[in-house]
Structure formats: structure tokens, C-alpha cells
Amino acid sequence: MTIAITAATGQLGRLVVQSLKTRAPHQEVVALVRSPEKAADLGVDALDADYDRPETLDRALAGVDTLLLISGPDVGRRVAQHRRVIDAARRAGVRRVVYTSAIHADVSPLDIAVDHRATEADLTASGVAYTIVRNSWYTENYASAISGALASGAVLGSADGARISSATRADYAEGIATVLAGTGHEGRTYELAGDEAWTMSDLAAEISRQSGRTIVYRDLPPAEYAAILAGFGIPEGVAKAIAGWDVAAAQGALFDDSRTLSRLIGRPTTPLSAVVAGELERAGAATPR
């Protein structure tokens, strides 16, 4: 059985490949990437596959049994890109496509959920067997908030008391690899999230506990938060999007208590405290124990 992973040199893709190699022979794992030379360290075959060049997709998917379609980063373009991959998979006779979507994409207020809903619809209409894995936020998304808090004494955001069920990329990658290498997942949609739901105030408290400094959470109006982010050099459109994601989180967009991910991987998901500890260690700000 050949399992192919798109965007295999990305942050998530690399972790999926490494986890998958513990579940399937490495010769059965194929990395699909725009620059195969960048995949040399993955230890698996790498093929040229570009979402914007359908001819590369047809060649790369020949003989593939299971395909992981990692969603592209280009909002506004990725629905068409994903459609090209799905169409190529159908032409190549791929038996199953696994797609990385967003948590509760069918009802989510997150703006990014619109693209995911469209791709999910394309996939279910394709006639190809599928599994949809809907990932919540990466805990690593808050690394800059941790480093910023050390400098300013505050975690900033517009999330109010939002409960965020995040997990690490490695947690999601392990869950996805389990689905790719396993059986009985056809036609299933999995809501993947961390076991532990936390708030931004909890994040501030955890940084305080581990660093020995007083860190608070400052909840700001979205426009003010976006303006501060833009002042840090983040493009205005991205800054507004980040603030909007906080607002959506306050509406419950990032909360899930199903514990589906930990059941898939057979262990608890990585706690917030471990991610904070790692970031503080990198910053040299951890309190000696």
C-alpha cells in the first residue's frame, strides 16, 4: 500500500511523515512536494507535486492508495487548488483521500472555515472514499504570545473567556498518521482537539507560574488588538484576521471536549504547561527547579 502526503516539507507534513514511518514501511510512504530536494532528509521517496500544476499531480498520484491532502495556506486560492488534487486523485484511482479541515468546520464562525466547507463538499461529491480530520488550533500558535508576555508582562488578545482546546502539531500528526495507516476510517469525520481546554487567562497564569514573573491577560477590543499587532509589523490584513479568530474563539469556535484525538493516539494530548515550558526554556526564562 502506498501512502502519499502533500505539503510533506511543511511543519505538519514533516511530522506526519515521521509518525507514519513508525506505522508503515518507509518505502510505502511518499512525500509530495513542490521542491523534492527539500525533502531529502525525510527518508522517503519524494515526488514533484504542485497544487497549481495539475500535470504534476497526475504523475505523482499514479499508484497511490491513500492520500493525505494537507490544506494549502492560500486563502482565496486553496479551494481551487484542493479541487485539482481531488480531481487528480479520482483520475489516478486513489482509494481514499484524508483531508485536514478545521474543527467543527460545518458550523464554525471562523472565516477560514468557509474554504474548508467547500473542500469537504468537493471531497464528498468526488466519489472517492474519504476521511476528514478537523483540527483545532495548534498550541504552538501561541508561542509569540508567550515570548511577548515575557517582554511586556501581559498576554494580549480579544478572546475574552474563550475555551481553547488546542493540541501540538505532533499530537495532530500522530492522529493523522493513525488514520492513514489504519482501517475502518472511510466516510468518517473526526473532530480533533486537545484534552485540556484553557483560556488566555490560564495561559498568562501558566507563564507566571513557570517564569516566576507576574503576567496578566489584557482583553482588548478587536480593532485595538489588530492595530497593536500591525504595529509589531504584522500585515494589516493578517492582524485583523488574528483578532477575528479570537472573537470567533469567544463564540466557541475552538472548543471541543470529545477527546477524539487522544483516543486515536492512545495517550493524553500534550498539555499547555509542556508547551509553555519549552518556550520558556528556549527564551532562557524558566525558573530553576
Q: Which tens digits make up the pLDDT trace of 192-216?
A: 999 999 999 999 999 999 999 999 9
Question: Which pLDDT score is estimated for 289?
Answer: 47
pLDDT attached to residue 287: 59
Domains for the chain: give ranges and CATH numbers.
Answer: 3-135 (3.40.50.720), 140-163+195-256+270-283 (3.90.25.10)
**For 97-115, how does the pLDDT look when each residue is reduced to its tens digit (9 = 90+)?**
999 999 999 999 999 999 9
What CA dihedral angle connects 106, 107, 110 and 115, to 10 degrees? 20
Q: pLDDT band at residue 288, thresholds of 50, 70 and 90?
A: very low
Q: Does 164 have pLDDT greater than 80? A: yes
pLDDT for the residue numbered 283: 82
With cut-offs at 50, 70 and 90, classify the pLDDT of residue 46: very high
How far is Cα 254 from Cα 233, in angstroms, rounded to an integer?
26
Task: List the grid coordinates of 141.
Answer: 500558535
Cell numbers for 176, please give them.
493523522
Sort 119 into a burial class: Cβ within 10 Å, 0-12 / 13-18 / 19+: buried
